[in-house]
Structure 1
Amino acid sequence: MAYRELLTRPVLTWCAVTTVARLPVAMAPLALVFLVRERPGGYSLGAVLAAVYVLGEIVAAPVLGLRMRAERARPQMAAGLGVGAAGFTGLGLAQGAHPVVLGVLAVLAGAGPVAVSAGLRALLTAMVPERAVTQALSLESMLTFGIWAAAPALTTGLALGAGPGVPLLLQGALMALGLAGLWLLPTGWAAEKQEKDGADRRALLAAWPVYVLGAASLTLLALAELVLPALLEQRGIAIGWAGPLLAGFSIGSVAGSFLYGLRSDWPGPLPAQSLLLVLGVTAGVALVAVVPGALGLGAALVAAGLLQAPAMLTRNLALRRVLPPSALAAGYSMMYAAVGAGYAASGTLAGGLLKVVAPSTAILCGVGLTLLLVTVAALGERSLVRNREARAPRPRKENEDPALR
């Protein structure tokens, strides 16, 4: 199915609502750093606030995701965006407040809207024909990477040009606008009624290898973002190259999303595709640690980004294969929590290692952590497939008497 067939009014409306709902999330960590950077110990406080914000996301994602119901997704997403809008607006207005107050507001801003992304993704895949799901998720991926590429420049420009609290106020306004935009979208998506919530929970738990592979992928992104400035200094390259190099990663991801969506029948099962793609991203990040010069670094990051987006797409498609429709939003939320935990774990590891080893060594240690997670995910997926095959009914051979079975 061609991308042009997705250019319908409902899908374009979904894109607009998703943009204003997700842009504040992409702006948040850097906006929190700029909010307090002029205070004593501002950068340390900003890092703590950003960590608290992410912690709110990680803790709330599985809890709120499990509570989301397909038939009443709109009011639940609206409540989440309302809490997020209040949290961001409060941060923008309370710039000089006590750090504990700022921390509470950061938790609210992170936790409130965390399940909205999962709900919007489930809503999108329900709005298009089944044959167009791959293209729809590719479109979402391109939109997401575009938002994340634009967010740092927008945040920096507003914080330095208009005031440190302005980005947070804009984030609050955008979330409120996204809340209003939900009423332009369907109220929810169709799902078969489950006899027991336990069935959904068992399905969500059984999909743990997909979550682990997602965490493995985001450890690589953390390495690319957090260690790159120190690596550039180690290589004797101007630190100003960090922005363009990371933009190259994002551009590669947009291109990878587009290319993967050009067809829906890539060879091999989805778990194998995802595994190979994550290993390809791992190789690209490992090259970043060893290649000299900005040109080599840029090529490695673009190649890693080109594979990162399809890796993310195959994980989302794999979740659709193993989860019932009623559990999709919860599954996407648990994936969000898993990848956030992977990002945080890799960032913490890299930050600790940078105190005792060279940046290139820190990246290679992070690559080792990624390979460990990939191995665990692959073994878990293999066990999941064996269990699924064991539970599947054995087909009856022709002329076989069922009573003899």
Structure 2
Amino acid sequence: MTYRDVASRQVLVWAGTAVAARMPVAMTPLALVFLVRERPGGYSLGAALAAAYVLGEIVAAPILGTRLDPARGRRQLTAGLAGGTLGFTGLGVLAGSHALVLGAFAFLAGAAPSAAAGGQRALLTFLVPERAVAQALSTESMLMSGVWAVSPVAVAGLALAVDPRVPLLLAAVLMALSMAGHRLLPAGWAKDGQGGRANRVRTRVLLGAWPVYVTGAASITLLGLVELTLPALLEQRGIGVGWSGPLLAGMAVAAGAGAFVYGLRSWPGRLRSRSVVLMCGMSVFVALLALIPDGSGMAVALVLAGILQSGALITRNLSLRDALPPGALAAGYSVLYAAAGAGYAATGSLAGALLQVVAPSTAMLAGVGLTLLLTALGWWGEARRERSPAPGGLQAGPAARAEGAPIAGGGDPERSL
């Protein structure tokens, strides 16, 4: 079980395809702000357009994800990416249009490709041996950490140095390239003849994995809390707000390093217990971020939180793989994606409301409390589900049957991945 099992030509093609599809996701919120900031009420309009984009993702991801056919998913993914390309092209070409027109294009850009992340993750696990799934998910996490570290810098540079429309036109080009990349990959990720029949049971089965979605939303809630509150916290500490960019980039780089370390070996404990430990550790470092008065200490807290964050996200993906039958994984990943988006949106609303009445450090601590509450709820739900049969009598993933045995005793569920 090493990263050598992940190294193949098809995984390399998948990596380029996934980066091309997800770079626009990371670029869009900031790109929309730059697109309209020179207009009257530009910052408010930019926030509204970003909200329309995220709303498109949240609404469409579970709907489109549950309709992905494991046998012919490529056709559906490329259709969604084509819709995203159209949305981004409209935003870039018609930048001076009425706000409602831009809002419609932003919604389309978020909604149409929203199932791509789930489908691509399912395809990645199909491309590698079962024993290397944890390493494949770690590799994905490293790639996405790099994407999120580079995207804000690229957007700001292109928008300020060239033209505010360029980042969105670049997003359209990237999505078009992702469509082309999918033509070099398998048509689907079905195993053992799975296809349309698996699709019909997904909605019922997906509901049984709700604890994983809750904990996944909690991890993104904490990340969103940091991103949205950090500038105000720095100002409270008397530190230049401009440091927020480098600090968040450092957190993203640390998350990539944490993902690499996570994939190097098997870790002790059940997946749900491991997730709780990682989430609680991340919460501790975010709480310290709110309490530490100097910038260097805050940087260390962010780096340590980033290292644990990637492990928490990978553990959530592995837990979902355990909770669902193989034919439902792409749909499950899409629902998890939507849950994460909802958690991020809720964090934005909570942070915005709290910052009106309390200090940034207090708002951050309140968000940590909410995260711990969601983590506890998810842990309770997973423990309860583990004692109950799978919904509809369907078998969950291969590791779910083994997770009850301690890893140290030779029953490591990830050894079969």
- TM-score by length of structure 1 reads 0.94
Whichever residue aligns with residue 252 of structure 2, its letter is S
Whichever residue aligns with residue 109 of structure 1, its letter is A
1:275 Cα offset (Å): 1.4
1:401 — aligned with what? none
CA–CA separation in structure 2 for the residues paired with 1:199 and 1:89: 36
For residues 270-300 of structure 1, what are the alpha-carbon distances to aligned partners after superposition, in whole Å with 9 as ceiling and x for unaligned? 1111111111111111111101111110011
Structure-2 change in CA distance of 1:297 and 1:154 (3 Å): same
2:405 — aligned with what? none
2:377 — aligned with what? 376
1:19 Cα offset (Å): 1.2
1:93 Cα offset (Å): 0.5
Structure-2 change in CA distance of 1:129 and 1:43 (3 Å): same
Question: Any idea what SS the aligned residue of 2:72 has?
Answer: helix
Question: Any idea what SS the aligned residue of 1:227 has?
Answer: helix
Question: Any idea what SS the aligned residue of 2:88 has?
Answer: helix
CA–CA separation in structure 1 for the residues paired with 2:7 and 2:198: 38
CA contact (8 A) 2:91 2:102 kept: yes
2:190 — aligned with what? 190
1:321 Cα offset (Å): 0.9
1:46 — aligned with what? 46
Match of 1:250 among 240, 249, 252: 252
1:117 Cα offset (Å): 1.0
CA–CA separation in structure 2 for the residues paired with 1:389 and 1:50: 38
2:165 — aligned with what? 165
Whichever residue aligns with residue 52 of structure 1, its letter is A
Question: Any idea what SS the aligned residue of 1:67 has?
Answer: coil
1:370 Cα offset (Å): 0.9
Match of 1:212 among 192, 211, 214: 214
1:193 Cα offset (Å): 4.9
Question: Any idea what SS the aligned residue of 2:201 has?
Answer: helix
1:195 Cα offset (Å): 4.9
CA contact (8 A) 2:199 2:328 kept: no
Q: Is 1:174 the counterpart of 2:177 in the alignment?
A: no
Identity of aligned residues (%): 60
Structure-2 change in CA distance of 1:11 and 1:196 (3 Å): closer
1:293 — aligned with what? 294
Whichever residue aligns with residue 356 of structure 1, its letter is V
Q: How many residues align?
A: 392
CA contact (8 A) 2:206 2:324 kept: yes
CA contact (8 A) 2:57 2:111 kept: yes
2:142 — aligned with what? 142
1:196 Cα offset (Å): 6.5
CA–CA separation in structure 1 for the residues paired with 2:218 and 2:19: 26
Unpaired runs of 5+ residues, structure 1, are: 393-405
CA contact (8 A) 2:198 2:328 kept: no
1:127 Cα offset (Å): 0.5
Whichever residue aligns with residue 349 of structure 1, its letter is L
Whichever residue aligns with residue 128 of structure 2, its letter is V
CA contact (8 A) 1:210 1:315 kept: yes
CA contact (8 A) 1:203 1:322 kept: no
Question: Any idea what SS the aligned residue of 1:349 has?
Answer: helix
CA contact (8 A) 2:58 2:341 kept: yes
CA–CA separation in structure 2 for the residues paired with 1:302 and 1:199: 42
CA contact (8 A) 2:69 2:195 kept: no
For residues 323-381 of structure 1, what are the alpha-carbon distances to aligned partners after superposition, in whole Å with 9 as ceiling and x for unaligned? 11111010000000111111111111011110110000000111111112112112211
Question: Any idea what SS the aligned residue of 2:71 has?
Answer: helix
Question: Any idea what SS the aligned residue of 2:358 has?
Answer: coil
Tell which deviates more after alignment, 165-174 or 375-384: 375-384
1:211 Cα offset (Å): 0.1
2:8 — aligned with what? 8
Whichever residue aligns with residue 347 of structure 1, its letter is G
Match of 1:229 among 226, 231, 245: 231
Whichever residue aligns with residue 320 of structure 1, its letter is R
1:388 Cα offset (Å): 3.1
1:335 — aligned with what? 336
For residues 114-170 of structure 1, what are the alpha-carbon distances to aligned partners after superposition, in whole Å with 9 as ceiling and x for unaligned? 101111110010001001111111000000010010000001111011111111111
1:310 — aligned with what? 311
* RMSD value, Cα: 1.6
Q: Is 1:59 the counterpart of 2:59 in the alignment?
A: yes
Unpaired runs of 5+ residues, structure 2, are: 395-417
For residues 89-116 of structure 1, what are the alpha-carbon distances to aligned partners after superposition, in whole Å with 9 as ceiling and x for unaligned? 1000111100000000000000011101
